Every structure is written in structure tokens, then in C-alpha cells.
A and B are shown apart, each in its own frame.
Chain A
């Protein structure tokens, strides 16, 4: 620690930081624009000026930009010095010369960093009385709105989009006071992280177009802390509602996971919640029924028939657990294909084993050598791709620190590093967006990716299984990967389930274990198919095939399906058969899909926005999402099951009252989940003054008038039985427990930048610790190697080995239903190596027909130079594409 003097008062502060972040950490209100905690300093805006003095005798001092000065012992600065204050006001005055002052019609108004800083500096009187310069705006696609006149040229957008996220289609054009931020031509922003522009831009240039389509002031949102539902990473989000619709998803800072950013699937996928064809009330044979009638009829049904239930990788722990309790584990089926179940259980067992540390996303950013096996991260776990992008800077950054350039001095660091990159090896079926930062890429069938992995492991530790028949190229590649990983200080092995290959997972585990023997700092990251796949994998239960069997053999007449479109997990023919054979099909889900349309009973489940629940992310962290708003006819799945269970006389379920009791029951009854009751405070939690944490900002407007068209008296707001949050603005504004922060706000800080005030230290953990409970402890044991090295892939005659390809937009079920995301979903295709295509006399776009376990599939051909010969890629999960159990042989129909 060092001592610095701010306006003559001493403070003990951490060395190595810049003055701006230090002042913010100390709680000072120092304005800034171009600096961003995740992007570092460049010194462009000149907003953060303070006076710096040589020593106690220096009374004149000089202005310095606090973001560009490191803290040093006995440093003396003044924030309140008149020149500094005047200069900071002057900077705003300059920035405002061309600003349109259109706050009243600006989406950012009221939650705008520029407004906050303007007020903070006291600039109020306009002296510039010339004409403003204006710009033409661009259409940037379905996600982001562009209003260039509001720009204050802080350069944050390009620094985030290009430098941080590796985007190539947004830049700064022209010069002097005519600089323009946008695309070369209007068009959809290509980056999967474009949505962050709406939070990174300190004013209303880049805003959320989906919010605009049903606009409301951000302070008029009822908000709750939530967890993204669209992949296994569990990014933390804030979800906001008004008038019964979900209106906006924003980033919720999490120091270990998503930090300041989320991906576009996470930000814009929420619109499925508002879909007109949502299931919003109990239905029997498609007709609305009364809730109590439904419960009693269903409970009769359950008491008098043979019942099985099917859980879901996208439903919460609580819902899956309740379902399991309703019928017992023998009748609880996991609801994913055999293949998927095997993979997620394998992944779970690797992580559970705990000998290699499962990295957080933050730790992945800091990895100094990365080997990716089989995952196209941008499409399967987008934020992890962003983390990997940062990791390649780790080795070059050593040179930066050698020259004593602090890490936060972003411009200097980038100029020194240039395009040098640390080791990153990517072995995937097709090219990925990360390839442009990779040291080497390897394109092959999953089997061969696994073989490469086994070979690397064997080179690192010869007691792991060896691989026969490697080509010279593969040997050399394995050798260079092994060398890079061995020389790294914090190597990371990344893999996952998306290429549907257990061999790939095993190979990744072997590399990690082998490396871990030599280097305890080795980390592993595995991605899973869905938001709660890992939670489901840990829950025990039967396979979906077992369910099919039971029905076939007449052991079943009623099935309850929880938040699961079975048609995404099995062949339509089989599912059709299964559903038609069941006498009663009860589906608890929120969105209509092929399965819900086959149900006799539709029970309206809450989406994440209308529910409380927990999910386990890919690192084994259990996290809670809180209900954003109540919908009278909609309940959490677990609550429906709780009510049904009580009605059928299930004695353990009868004990349950609310979220707490389900959670505690689970924590007590399920070994693997002990501790989850500590994920968030219990429902009786109250702030120090006995009050709740309000979901609405105190600036929330018009509450008493919102329902005036119905009744003049304001109805009693619902009371949250499941958490210490209130549904109104009533409650305490003091700092809530970190899991329970519904929105970020601080006096004078109305924009998302107020998150500074919630952190122990700028950019570090939230006060009270980053949310979530990690289920798997890192053990010191040495794990066993997997020995099943697969055979080399051999192309077939007149058949292609069909492998899955994932798309960020389309492959995931719920986000694909979102209006904005649906515009980015690609058309189905089959990706074939160009040479194969030539041999088969196929050309781009030509429709090809093939057989795959009993199904005949027709798809237009797309040519690729990256996919290996003998393989074909199919974009799985697309709404227009039926389930295909890949990998497997597709027999070409000639």
C-alpha cells in the first residue's frame, strides 16, 4: 500500500492502479468518458483532469489526466482545485458544442453517463452560439440503433468493438471534429458482442433497438437480478419489465464470470418472453381452464395412473428437483438424447473429479496458453470466446510490464504489443471466428481432434495413452501444442459437448490432467449444451430412451414433461409415437413448441423473468435468478409441481411453502447440491432497517396512474414470498447483498457506470463477493487417464459423416424465438468440403438428399474449404430443421 494525498488528506491505496480508478474506488465522484474499467486508459477525452503537485510546497501544480497517471507514494493531487474544476467543466462544454441536446427523445435520457457527468461538472450555461455539425445515421441491423449526432467522440465504441471484442466492421472515420463512428456502409453489425455498445457508449449513439421497439425509461423498469438462459456460462443479467412485458436485458456485473459484458444472444434473446403465442394460462385440450380445476383433475389423473416425468436442461434446479420428488428418481427422466446425456454426465464427472481446477471466465482471460478442442466458442459459449480473445494478450503483456508500462495504459500496451499474440491452438471441425488470433488451427473430424488431444497429453506425460498412426503434421502440431502448454504459467484447456464426441471430452481431460501433473495452475473449461445441463447431469434419473421404452411396454399412461421440447432431443417419429401412446400428456412450459401442441394439459410455466430458480453453470457454480414480475396465471414450474404434489398428498412436497423450502429440501436431500441454500439470502431477508430491496428505482414514475383505465384505486402490489425483494420502489436503497442487486444506481450516477460504486475496488469483486456457490471443490488428487483413444476417421463411400455445427443465433431454442434474434437465424444447409462436392458433382445451393438413421433429409449444399473431406456439417437446432442425431453416417441418395 502507498499513501497519496487528495486535497491534502492522506489515503492508503493499492499501488499499480491509475489515479482515476483509485479515486473512484475511494468513493470520489471524478468524471470520465474514455476510460473504461475493462478497456483501460487512452487519455482521449481529458475529462478526468486533476491537479498534481510536486510536493507539499508546490502550490501551483499542473493539470494531469488522472486516468493516465499511476499512483505513487506520497503523490499529491487535488480534485477540488479551481483550475481542475473549471477545466473539467470546460471539457463538457466542448463536448456539448455539437451535442443535439435531445435528451427528451433520447433512449439514454435519464440513464446517461453524459448527463451525469454534465451535472457533476456543473456545466449549465451554453456559450457556444454557432451552428452544430450533424451526421447521417446508419441502419445497423436488428439489435442496435445508431444516432451519431449524440456522439462525444470518446472512442470507447471502437475500443470495445475492435480492440476488445475483435470486431472488424465498426470503426472511426474521418478526422478533426468530423470523426464518425459506424460502419463503412450501413448494415448489420457482425460482432456477437455488439449489444455491449449500448452500455459502453456513454451517451445515446448506440442503443438497444429491441428496447426502443417497446420503449420505456430505464428507471421505469421493474428489475431483478437474473441469469442468462441461453448457454451454459451463466452470465449475470438484469431483466427489466414494464406493463407486463419484459423490455430489456442489461449486463449485471459479475467479477468472475461476465464482467462488464454479455453477448448478443443473451441480451436480445429475451423477446421470447413476450411472444404472442406464449402459454399464459392453464389449457386443457387447447381450451382455457380454471387453475384449481386443473390441479384437481391432474391430481386425480396422477393418483390413478402410471406416471413418468421428463425433466429439462433448461429448467431450474428447483423445478427439476420438484418434478423428481413428485414421482421418485426411478420415474424421473432427464429429457435429453442418449448421446447428450452421456456427454453431459461425462463432462460433469470430469469437473466433479476436481483434480484440475475449473476456470472461471475471468481466469480464462488470464490464461497464457489455450488449447481448444472441438468447440466453436463464438457459437456455443460466446462470452468464453471473448475471454479467450483477452488471453492471447497475456504473454505479450509480459513485455509491456518489462518496460514498466502499466497494464491499464491500453494505448501504450497495444502499440508495444502490436499484433503479437500468445499461444492459442484451436482444433475444430470447421473454421471459427477465433482463428484469426490462433497460433495454429487444426481442422478435422471429432475423432481426429480427440486423437490430437490424446497425443498432446501423451507428449506431456508419457503415462497417458499414446496415439498410433498420427501423420507427421499431426505429430508436429501436437509437439508444438505440448511445448506451448508446458512453458505457460497458467495454461487452459477448453472443450465441451458441442461436437457431440465423448472422445474429445476425454482427450481434453487427459491433456488437462497430464499438464496438471507438471503445473498445478492448469485449468479446464468445459461447455455444456444448455443453461442448466450441468445441474441436470448431477441430479440422477433415467434416460429419455428409458422413458420411450416404458411407454412402449405399457408401463406408463401419463407423462409430465417439464420445460422441454422433446422434438429437439429425439426423432420426430419416435416422439410422435411416444406422445400418442401416452394416455395423458401434461406439459409444463412457457413457450409453444411441437411438444406443447401435443399436450392434453398445458401448464403455464414462468420463464426466467416470471420465476425464481437456480442453475448450475459450466464451472459448477450455482446461481439464482429472481422473479422480475408476477403474472397471475403464470407460476414457476416448481410451484405448479408443488401445488400438484400437495394435492396428490405427496408428504414431503406438502412440507414446502416457497422457494426456500424447495431449495433447502434439495440441499439436504441431494448430496451434490449441499450448500445451494447459501446461494442467496432466504426469503425473510430484510435490509438493516427491516425493509426489502426494491425492484424499482425510486425514480419510477406513474405507478399510481398505470392502471387508471381499469380502476382509480391503486391495487396492492404483490408480495414476494420467495425473496427479500419488493415489487415496487418501496424499500431500502442501501447496498443489497451482491446476489440481490436488481439494478445499479448511485446518487449522481444514473447510468450503468454506477457499478463502480458496488465494487470493492473498481473492476474487482462486487461488495459482498461475486454471487454464486461453486459446487465442486478443487481436490489435490491425481485423476486417472482415459484410455479410449478413438480410431482415425475414415471417409466412407457414398456417405458422409454428419457432424453438428452450432450457430449463436438459431441453435439455441429460446433465443431463436426472439423477434430480433430470429432475423439473424440462418437457413438450413449442409456444409461439404469443396473437393468432396466436386467429386459428387454438387454445387453450392444444390439440394442434396441423404438418409440418416431412418430419416430422409434434404438440404441445400454449402461449400467449405475448411471442413475435412468425408465430413458434412449440419446447423443443428435451427427452428426449421428437425432433430438429427449426429454424429453419424448420412447415406447419399443418388
Chain B
């Protein structure tokens, strides 16, 4: 069931485009904003709301990297793995992150706090290496800062 808040936001998105289906990506984003990820059930609900079949909507949902069709943790860490960060040695940072959290890409910590995902270029190449946690961008990250950064999230 979509919440009234979600419905309100989806309806707003529909207003900006000529037909309902065109709001599909927006609608998925709305649900994800509220629930962190898009479950099969939410997918069906959104599809119904947009007069689409679950197939048609899922076809769109599964195409995009940032629509999560599997459950993610409370905070999603997106590690930039693109060229400038690679040159600047992001791999050490990544490994340290894996060690600290005890998980690898695509996994969620047992306490459900963090999910780590690889991500392409975050557009802050002059401040590599970089990663994002939820909406926060961290640049020029030194390995020794990691602990302190992670502590901000609970």
C-alpha cells in the first residue's frame, strides 16, 4: 500500500509530464525515498497506480543503478570506483571499509546499518578518492578518517 504522502508526491510527479507512465522513474524514486528500496510489493503498487503492468515498471526499475530492488541497509555507502579515484588509490580505502564493516560490495552489515555498493564517478575527481553515504559526499578521504565518518551514522 502506498502511503498518502507517497501518493501525494507521485501525483505531483505525474502533473509534470504528459502521461502517467512518464512519471515511472519519479514514482520509483518517491517510494525509495520513503522505504529505502523498492520491494516487489511496492513495485506492484506503483505499477497499479501508474496503470502499468509490473513487468513494464520492473523493466524500467531494474535498468537503473540507483533503484534498489533488493533491501539495503539504513545507510548506503557508494564508493566511487572510477578512474581518478582509482589512480588516487581508492582500493585501499575500499578494502579498509570492507574490513571495518565485515562485508563486501552488495552486502549489508548484520545490524542492517550499512550497505556498500560500488559506484561510478561521483564527479569530484579533483578531490579523489571519494564516496557518498546517503546524501553526504566525502572527498579526499584519508584512511584514518574512515572511522570517524562511519561513527556519524547510526
- Verify A184–B55 contact, CB threshold 8 A: yes
Chain A CB within 8 A of B40 CB: yes
- Verify A171–B56 contact, CB threshold 8 A: yes
Q: How far is the CA of A520 from the CA of B21 in the complex (A)?
A: 40
Binds A, one of B8-16, B23-31, B57-65, B94-102: B57-65
Chain A CB within 8 A of B92 CB: no
**Given A185-B40, A419-B19; A169-B63 close (CB under 8 Å):** no
Q: Which chain A residue shows the least CB distance to B53?
A: A168
Chain A residues 182 to 196 lying within 8 A of chain B, measured CB to CB, are: 183-185
Most chain A beta carbons < 10 A, residue from B40, B43, B52, B63? B63
A169-180 contact mask (Cβ, 8 Å, vs B): 1 or 0: 111111100000
- Verify A171–B58 contact, CB threshold 8 A: yes
Residues of A within 8 A of B52 (CB): 168
Q: Which chain A residue shows the least CB distance to B43?
A: A184
- Verify A172–B56 contact, CB threshold 8 A: no
Number of interface residues of B (CB under 8 A): 13
Residues of A within 8 A of B21 (CB): 419
Minimum Cβ distance to chain B for residue A437 (Å): 13
A134-177 contact mask (Cβ, 8 Å, vs B): 1 or 0: 00000000000000000000000000001000001111111100
A183 contact from B19, B43, B55, B62, Cβ within 8 A: B55
Q: How far is the CA of A817 from the CA of B109 in the complex (A)?
A: 55
A169 contact from B19, B43, B53, B62, Cβ within 8 A: B53
- Verify B55–A168 contact, CB threshold 8 A: yes
- Verify B40–A171 contact, CB threshold 8 A: no
Q: How far is the CA of A496 from the CA of B44 in the complex (A)?
A: 37
- Verify A171–B63 contact, CB threshold 8 A: no
Chain A CB within 8 A of B54 CB: yes
Q: Which chain A residue shows the least CB distance to B47?
A: A184
Residues of B within 8 A of A173 (CB): 58-59, 62-63
Q: How far is the CA of A184 from the CA of B52 in the complex (A)?
A: 12
Residues of A within 8 A of B40 (CB): 184-185
Q: Which chain B residue shows the least CB distance to A436?
A: B51
- Verify B19–A171 contact, CB threshold 8 A: no
Minimum Cβ distance to chain A for residue B48 (Å): 12
Minimum Cβ distance to chain A for residue B63 (Å): 5
Chain B residues 96 to 119 lying within 8 A of chain A, measured CB to CB, are: none
Minimum Cβ distance to chain B for residue A419 (Å): 6
Residues of B within 8 A of A183 (CB): 55
Minimum Cβ distance to chain A for residue B62 (Å): 4
Residues of B within 8 A of A174 (CB): 62-63
User: In which size bucket is the chain A interface?
Assistant: 10 to 19
**Given A185-B40, A419-B19; A175-B62 close (CB under 8 Å):** yes
Residues of B within 8 A of A171 (CB): 53, 55-56, 58-59
Most chain B beta carbons < 10 A, residue from A168, A170, A175, A184? A184
Q: How far is the CA of A169 from the CA of B57 in the complex (A)?
A: 10
Q: How far is the CA of A347 from the CA of B59 in the complex (A)?
A: 45
Chain B residues 37 to 78 lying within 8 A of chain A, measured CB to CB, are: 40, 43, 52-56, 58-59, 62-63
A414-432 contact mask (Cβ, 8 Å, vs B): 1 or 0: 0000010000000000000
Q: How far is the CA of A174 from the CA of B61 in the complex (A)?
A: 8
Q: How far is the CA of A170 from the CA of B53 in the complex (A)?
A: 9
Chain A residues 632 to 657 lying within 8 A of chain B, measured CB to CB, are: none
Q: Which chain B residue shows the least CB distance to A178?
A: B62
- Verify B55–A175 contact, CB threshold 8 A: no
Residues of A within 8 A of B62 (CB): 173-175
Q: How far is the CA of A835 from the CA of B22 in the complex (A)?
A: 35
- Verify A170–B63 contact, CB threshold 8 A: no
- Verify B63–A184 contact, CB threshold 8 A: no
Most chain A beta carbons < 10 A, residue from B56, B58, B59? B59
A172 contact from B19, B43, B59, Cβ within 8 A: B59
B58 contact from A162, A175, A184, A419, Cβ within 8 A: A184
Q: How far is the CA of A570 from the CA of B58 in the complex (A)?
A: 49
Minimum Cβ distance to chain B for residue A428 (Å): 21
**Given A174-B63, A175-B62; A184-B19 close (CB under 8 Å):** no
Residues of A within 8 A of B55 (CB): 168-171, 183-184
Q: How far is the CA of A162 from the CA of B43 in the complex (A)?
A: 19
Residues of A within 8 A of B59 (CB): 171-173
Residues of A within 8 A of B43 (CB): 184
Minimum Cβ distance to chain A for residue B81 (Å): 15
Minimum Cβ distance to chain B for residue A197 (Å): 14
Minimum Cβ distance to chain B for residue A136 (Å): 14
Q: How far is the CA of A185 from the CA of B55 in the complex (A)?
A: 8
Residues of A within 8 A of B63 (CB): 173-175
Minimum Cβ distance to chain A for residue B29 (Å): 18
Q: How far is the CA of A171 from the CA of B24 in the complex (A)?
A: 15
Minimum Cβ distance to chain B for residue A294 (Å): 56
Minimum Cβ distance to chain B for residue A174 (Å): 5
Q: Which chain A residue shows the least CB distance to B57?
A: A184
Q: How far is the CA of A419 from the CA of B21 in the complex (A)?
A: 10
Q: How far is the CA of A845 from the CA of B52 in the complex (A)?
A: 28
Q: How far is the CA of A207 from the CA of B59 in the complex (A)?
A: 22
Q: Which chain B residue shows the least CB distance to A169?
A: B55
- Verify B58–A168 contact, CB threshold 8 A: no
Residues of B within 8 A of A175 (CB): 62-63
Residues of B within 8 A of A170 (CB): 55
Minimum Cβ distance to chain A for residue B50 (Å): 12
Q: How far is the CA of A169 from the CA of B19 in the complex (A)?
A: 20
Q: How far is the CA of A172 from the CA of B62 in the complex (A)?
A: 9
- Verify A168–B56 contact, CB threshold 8 A: yes
Q: Which chain B residue shows the least CB distance to A168?
A: B53
Q: Which chain A residue shows the least CB distance to B58?
A: A184
Q: How far is the CA of A173 from the CA of B53 in the complex (A)?
A: 13
Chain A residues 87 to 131 lying within 8 A of chain B, measured CB to CB, are: none
Minimum Cβ distance to chain A for residue B97 (Å): 25
Q: How far is the CA of A169 from the CA of B59 in the complex (A)?
A: 10
Chain A residues 825 to 875 lying within 8 A of chain B, measured CB to CB, are: none
Residues of A within 8 A of B56 (CB): 162, 168, 171
Residues of B within 8 A of A168 (CB): 52-53, 55-56
Most chain A beta carbons < 10 A, residue from B40, B52, B54? B54
Q: How far is the CA of A172 from the CA of B19 in the complex (A)?
A: 22
A252-291 contact mask (Cβ, 8 Å, vs B): 1 or 0: 0000000000000000000000000000000000000000
Residues of A within 8 A of B53 (CB): 168-169, 171, 184
Minimum Cβ distance to chain A for residue B12 (Å): 22
Q: How far is the CA of A330 from the CA of B121 in the complex (A)?
A: 87
Minimum Cβ distance to chain A for residue B53 (Å): 4
Most chain B beta carbons < 10 A, residue from A171, A172, A419? A171
Minimum Cβ distance to chain B for residue A166 (Å): 11
Residues of B within 8 A of A185 (CB): 40, 54
Residues of B within 8 A of A172 (CB): 59
Q: How far is the CA of A170 from the CA of B54 in the complex (A)?
A: 10
Q: Which chain A residue shows the least CB distance to B64?
A: A175
Q: Name 15 interchain pairs, CB-CB below 8 A, sorted by A.
A: A162-B56, A168-B52, A168-B53, A168-B55, A168-B56, A169-B55, A171-B55, A173-B58, A173-B63, A183-B55, A184-B43, A184-B55, A184-B58, A185-B54, A419-B21
- Please report A residues at the B interface, Cβ cutoff 8 Å: 162, 168-175, 183-185, 419
- Please report B residues at the A interface, Cβ cutoff 8 Å: 19, 21, 40, 43, 52-56, 58-59, 62-63
Q: Name the 9 nearest CB pairs between A and B, nearest first.
A: A168-B53, A171-B59, A171-B55, A184-B54, A173-B62, A184-B55, A184-B58, A174-B62, A175-B63
Q: A169-B54, A173-B62 are in contact. List 7 more A-B contacts (CB 8 A).
A: A162-B56, A168-B52, A169-B53, A171-B55, A172-B59, A183-B55, A184-B55
